[in-house]
Every structure is written in C-alpha cells, then in structure tokens.
C-alpha cells in the first residue's frame, strides 16, 4: 500500500499510488435499496466512496456531500460510475457551517424527491498546520473545536434537519470508530468525539423509535483511505499495524460497504441502536 505523505488535509484518493479498494470491481448489487433516497457525507473517497458505489448498485438514488477541494475525487468517482449508467447528485460544502448543513439536507431531499437514508460519514482526525495526534499538553483548542464541530456538531445538525423529512422506515447509519473499544493515548480529542457519536446513536435510536426511524453505526478498524493519511499514519506505521493483525493487513473500504447496506436495508426493521464492528479481530481507530 502506498498512500501519499501524511499530515495534509484534505488528501485526495486520486493522489494515491495504490488506491484503496472501494468495491469498484467486487461489489454486486441485489436491489436491496431499490428506489430509496440516500444522503452520504464524505462520499468522495474511502469508506464514503465504497458506500456510494454499494448504494447505487443496490438501486438507491444518492446525493453526496464533500469539500470543494475534493472535487477531483468526485470527478473520478462519477467518471467510473458513468460506465455502468450510474450517477449521483453533488452537493459540495463545508459541514462546519451550521446553516449549510441544514441547507444540504433540504437540497438533497429536493433533488432526490425525498430522503429515506442519511449516512453521516464525514470525519476529521485532527490535523492543524501539518501536525497530527499529540499529547494533551500540545493539543490546541483550535484542533479540539474542529474535531468536535466536524465529527459531532455536524452530525447533530444533520439529524436535526433530517428527522422531520424521513418517513417511517427511514434510517441513519453513522460512521463511528473502533477506537471506542480500545485506547490511543494521543487521540484524546478524536476518540472522545467518536465516543460522543456512539452515545448519540444509542440515544437517538430510543428517541426516534416511535417515529419508525432506525439509528445504527459502523465502527471500522484502521482502514486504508485518505482519512488514514490525513491522520498522520505513514507507510511504515501501516506495515507495523498490518503485521500485528491476524489478517496480516488493514481493512479496505470495500469490506465495510456491505455493513452499511445491511443496516440501511428496510427489511432490517428491528435493527436499531446498534454499533456494528468490522475490526479484523483487533479493534482500532478508523
């Protein structure tokens, strides 16, 4: 695996010498989401890209959100999918902007003709001026705020805007992290944000059950993606982590997409309040 040098944000998937496997040539749809309308944040690359591919091949109509700087990755995905007659709606914008998040939800619903599934997937690991995870005495307020505004606040705003639009049978599928089941001593801020999401999942599932809306999450292990590179994980670190795993490698986004499909499938009527892990036997951060 050959990711670009770590520490920059955002890092484009199109800059990878060896791109992640997002299911481009492996995922086969079975019509499980036929006709459903889905909004996916961070849908340009990595895990989000794999979910976009899977949802479209399952028959869903999809809108994605991403940062304007990530347009090259979106173009790459769109060009690939065009070859099989698939397309998605593009709604670029910064989730740090509360007003935009509300507009994003309504714009997606307008373009798709409704909204059935929301996948709050976009995340931020903590990169300020090229630096990544650090001991707490070196962690800045700026980094803490950006992590929580991206990973927690934006997801809160998404749900708040989407709940009135989702019908009975609708669902949220969050991306949390395997870090909630382990300890990374230099990831106090990031780990705390993912723990917040995990609680949000469980709390919202109880609150929204009377409305017939399900809420679940996926907790990946360390996954080969641009997110990993922005988190400051080097090639050497990937090799070391892979060597410690029973599978001898880290996770690929394509291995997570089926879990998102399972949780979004309207037949999973009693699956709510759950966080589904795919850790390759060793929990760890996404």
In tens, the pLDDT along 19-34 reads 999 999 999 999 999 9
pLDDT in the model for residue 281 = 64
Are 24 and 84 contacting, i.e. CB atoms less than 8 angstroms apart?
no
Q: Could you give the C-alpha distances from 38 to 50, 133, 159, in angstroms and in order?
A: 14, 33, 13
Active-site option among 66, 124, 190, 260: 190
Tell me the pLDDT tens digit for each residue of 219-261: 998 898 888 777 777 778 788 878 777 888 889 999 999 999 9
270 is catalytic: no
Distance CA 168, CA 210 (A): 9
Q: Answer whether residue 133 shows pLDDT above 70.
A: no
At a CB cut-off of 8 Å and minimum separation 6, what does 30 contact? Answer: 58
Are 240 and 267 contacting, i.e. CB atoms less than 8 angstroms apart?
no
Are 231 and 12 contacting, i.e. CB atoms less than 8 angstroms apart?
no
Please state the rounded mean pLDDT for residues 158-165: 98
Homologous superfamily assigned to 24-221+253-278: NAD(P)-binding Rossmann-like Domain (3.40.50.720)
Q: Answer whether residue 286 shows pLDDT above 90.
A: no
Write down the mean pLDDT value for the chain. Answer: 90
Distance CA 91, CA 44 (A): 11
Which of 161-170, 228-237, 270-279 tops mean pLDDT?
161-170
Higher model confidence: residue 5 or residue 58? 58
Domain borders along the chain are 24-221+253-278
Higher model confidence: residue 136 or residue 53? 53
Distance CA 170, CA 41 (A): 17
């Amino acid at each position: 695996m050959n990711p670009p040098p770590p520490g920059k944000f955002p890092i484009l998937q199109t800059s990878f010498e060896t791109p992640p496997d997002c299911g481009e040539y492996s995922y086969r749809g079975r019509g499980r989401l036929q006709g459903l309308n889905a909004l996916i944040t961070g849908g340009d690359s990595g895990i989000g890209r794999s979910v976009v591919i899977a949802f479209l091949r399952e028959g869903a109509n999809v809108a994605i959100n991403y940062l304007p700087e990530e347009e090259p990755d979106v173009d790459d995905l769109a060009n690939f999918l065009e070859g099989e007659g698939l397309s998605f709606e593009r709604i670029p914008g910064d989730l740090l902007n509360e007003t935009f998040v509300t507009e994003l939800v309504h714009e997606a619903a307008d373009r798709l003709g409704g909204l059935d599934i929301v996948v709050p997937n976009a995340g931020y690991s903590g990169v300020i001026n090229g630096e990544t995870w650090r001991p707490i005495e070196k962690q800045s307020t700026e980094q803490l705020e950006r992590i929580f505004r991206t990973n927690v606040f934006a997801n809160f705003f998404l749900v708040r805007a989407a709940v009135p639009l989702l019908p009975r049978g609708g669902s949220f599928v969050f991306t949390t992290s395997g870090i909630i089941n382990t300890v990374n001593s230099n990831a106090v801020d990031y780990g705390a944000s993912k723990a917040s999401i995990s609680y949000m999942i469980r709390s919202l599932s109880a609150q929204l059950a009377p409305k017939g809306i399900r809420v679940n999450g996926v907790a990946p292990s360390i996954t080969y993606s641009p997110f990993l590179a922005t988190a400051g994980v080097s090639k050497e670190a990937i090799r070391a982590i892979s060597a410690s795993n029973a599978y001898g490698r880290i996770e690929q986004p394509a291995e997570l997409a089926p879990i998102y499909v399972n949780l979004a499938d309207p037949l999973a009527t009693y699956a709510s309040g759950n966080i589904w892990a795919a850790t390759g036997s060793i929990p760890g951060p996404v």
